[in-house]
């Protein structure tokens, strides 16, 4: 008769893995001394909320700060844990990705969080934005997210503040108070604005743009984005790595449908929805602007599109599809959001514990200083030249010269290795047919108007080009991607798009040629003009060169 062995009691705070092997009595007796019945992995108190974070920070790795500053490794881990808790983090966007980021930040030791989002909770958000419930519908995402996180993670002593407004409504002093910014935005325009804002906060050693940047004023931006089973995460150190503006060319153009197809021969349910939103609405609701955030407007568009689809024998018009078309919603998958959020928060922990900033970033920033580079090369040439002359005088042979050449080659190779050791600041994730990730360094765009310090230069015919032509040329420039540019010179404002009162005041300049404006002293050739646009928080610098009429392509020249 078999007797079941009584299981010994295992405390809840001890994690144990039992190893049960079905072996003969002889083999088990012979190996009993060398193979224990179970392995104790570790001890965790239910009251210790920082246990897992401390395990990570206690782990030896080549990226840890120098150990000589601490008496033991536990002291180092506690110091890094405190640093994470004191880091002020701004999370931009409380949507599907933003909710995941906020949760992971709270569970990773970050305690001082601020979330900013202008949107309100809708029923369609509930299936993937897990911080919200049905009774939250209609309330601000930022305020509800802060409320839920403060209640759910009260035992972690987190302090989450919600800011329900647009990014543009906050001035520079608001963004300057944070040490880290994590973006979960789905709008390219908003991401461009945030990227430019953080670059505008960076200070330099002198007033000229060529001065060396002050790394203490650089606020790292962790930017993430998802679309279906694809996603990306990247690190942006202002003026050190490539910025968001550098990668605009990698985004596909926004889907649009020809108006003739929409009006005459619709073939897709999307065509019917676009017709209802762009044409039917203006015909029946004259004077009223269509609001994609208004549930009544969206419902009207759905019903109108459904009638048109039935007339042309098109199926597939649903309320969900209508909402996706009018709001340009990008399909979201919860698992992709979780993966990208984990990548972003992992980088946030590394940055907050000096895993990156103290090594690579300083090295790259020093490389970017051309003045320092020239001075260092000059000193090397002087030292090598002096040593070579002394050695030739002493030995009277070419041995010293040969050694100097070999040493110079070694140093040049070291410089090349250093130049090629850029930070891998971009990771892409593909999960459609499997799991694939690729990490690489996203190169800086030499003519980037945000991070390269360049002036946009255009050669134009001042007699044939009016101010209106110039503004249209700027708006059509694919490298600038401006939406509604205004322009001013040292003499004053040339044209403002808004408010309407000021626009009417300067409208008379639109029809005037640049030659005419120049003769009146409103602008001059090669003068640095300032172009502002709602898409960017800072001005774009423009220099005009008068000459024969060209195709209007922009040239970029370094700032002098």
Residues known to be catalytic: 260
In this structure, the chain runs to a length of: 560
Q: For residue 62, what are the CA distances in angstroms to 40, 67, 108, 356?
A: 27, 11, 21, 12
> Distance between alpha carbon 336 and the CA centroid of its chain, in Å?
17
As separate numbers, helices (DSSP H) first and strands (DSSP E) second, the chain gives 19, 16
The answer to whether the beta carbons of residues 229 and 241 sit under 8 Å apart is: no
What is 478-543 written as a DSSP string?
A: TTT--SS-EEEETTEEEE---SHHHHHHHGGGTTSBHHHHHHTTS--TT-EEEEEETTEEEEEEEE
The one-character DSSP state at 361 is: I
Say which residues have a Cβ less than 8 Å from residue 531's Cβ, sequence separation at least 6. Answer: 456, 474, 482, 485, 486, 487, 539, 540, 541, 542
Cis peptide before 499 (omega within 30 of 0): yes
Tokens 């990668």 sit on residue: 247
CA angle 303, 309, 315 (to 5 degrees): 105
Cα separation, 502 vs 482, whole angstroms: 20
The position carrying tokens 């650089």 is 218
DSSP string, 317-338: --HHHHHHHHTTPPPB-HHHHH
Residues whose CB falls within 8 Å of the CB of residue 297, separated by 6 or more in sequence, listed in order: 281, 290, 291
Q: What is the distance between the alpha carbons of residues 129 and 96, in angstroms, rounded to a whole number?
A: 5
């Amino acid at each position: 008769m078999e007797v079941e062995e009584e299981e010994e009691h295992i405390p809840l705070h001890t994690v144990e893995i039992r190893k049960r092997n079905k072996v003969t009595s002889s083999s088990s007796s012979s190996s009993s001394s060398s193979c224990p019945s179970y392995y104790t992995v570790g001890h965790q108190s239910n009251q210790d909320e920082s246990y897992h974070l401390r395990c990570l920070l206690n782990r030896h790795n080549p990226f840890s700060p120098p150990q000589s500053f601490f008496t033991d490794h536990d002291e180092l881990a506690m110091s890094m844990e405190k640093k994470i808790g004191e880091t002020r983090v701004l999370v931009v966007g409380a949507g599907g990705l933003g909710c995941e980021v906020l949760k992971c930040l709270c569970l990773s030791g970050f305690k001082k969080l601020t979330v900013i989002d202008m949107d309100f909770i809708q029923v369609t958000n509930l299936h993937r934005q897990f911080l919200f419930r049905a009774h939250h519908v209609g309330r601000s995402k930022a305020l509800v997210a802060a409320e839920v996180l403060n209640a759910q993670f009260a035992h972690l002593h987190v302090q989450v503040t919600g800011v329900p407004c647009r990014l543009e409504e906050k001035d520079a002093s608001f963004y300057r108070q944070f040490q880290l910014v994590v973006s979960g935005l789905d709008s390219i325009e908003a991401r461009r604005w945030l990227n430019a804002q953080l670059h505008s906060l960076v200070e330099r050693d002198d007033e000229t743009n060529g001065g060396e940047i002050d790394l203490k004023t650089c606020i790292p931006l962790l930017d993430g984005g998802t679309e279906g089973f694809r996603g990306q995460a990247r690190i942006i150190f202002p003026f050190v790595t490539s910025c968001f503006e550098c990668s605009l060319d990698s985004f596909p153009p926004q889907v649009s449908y020809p108006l003739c197809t929409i009006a005459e021969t619709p073939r897709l349910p999307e065509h019917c929805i676009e017709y209802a939103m762009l044409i039917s609405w203006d015909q029946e609701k004259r004077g009223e602007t269509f609001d994609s955030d208004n549930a009544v407007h969206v419902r009207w568009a759905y019903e109108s599109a459904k009638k048109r689809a039935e007339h042309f024998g098109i199926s597939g018009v649903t309320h969900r599809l209508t909402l996706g078309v009018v709001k340009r919603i990008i399909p979201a998958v919860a698992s992709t959001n979780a993966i990208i959020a984990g990548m972003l928060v992992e980088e946030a922990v590394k940055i907050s514990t000096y895993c990156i900033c103290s090594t690579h970033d300083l090295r790259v920033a020093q490389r970017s200083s051309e003045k320092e580079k020239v001075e260092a090369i000059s000193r090397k040439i002087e030292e090598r030249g002096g040593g070579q002359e002394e050695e030739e005088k002493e030995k009277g042979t070419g041995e010293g010269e040969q050694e100097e050449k070999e040493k110079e080659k070694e140093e040049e190779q070291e410089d090349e290795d250093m130049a090629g050791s850029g930070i891998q600041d971009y990771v892409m994730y593909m999960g459609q047919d499997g799991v694939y990730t690729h990490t690489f360094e996203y190169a800086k765009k030499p003519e980037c108007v945000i991070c390269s310090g360049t002036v946009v230069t255009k050669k134009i015919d001042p007699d044939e080009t009016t101010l209106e032509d110039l503004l249209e040329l700027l708006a059509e420039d694919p490298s600038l991607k401006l939406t509604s540019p205004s322009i001013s010179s040292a003499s004053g404002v040339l044209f403002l798009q808004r408010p309407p009162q000021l626009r009417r005041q300067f409208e008379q300049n639109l029809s005037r040629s640049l030659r005419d404006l120049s003769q009146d002293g409103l602008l001059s050739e090669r003068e640095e003009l300032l172009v502002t646009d709602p898409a960017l928080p800072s001005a774009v610098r423009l220099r005009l060169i008068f000459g024969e009429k060209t195709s209007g392509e922009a040239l970029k020249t370094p700032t002098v």
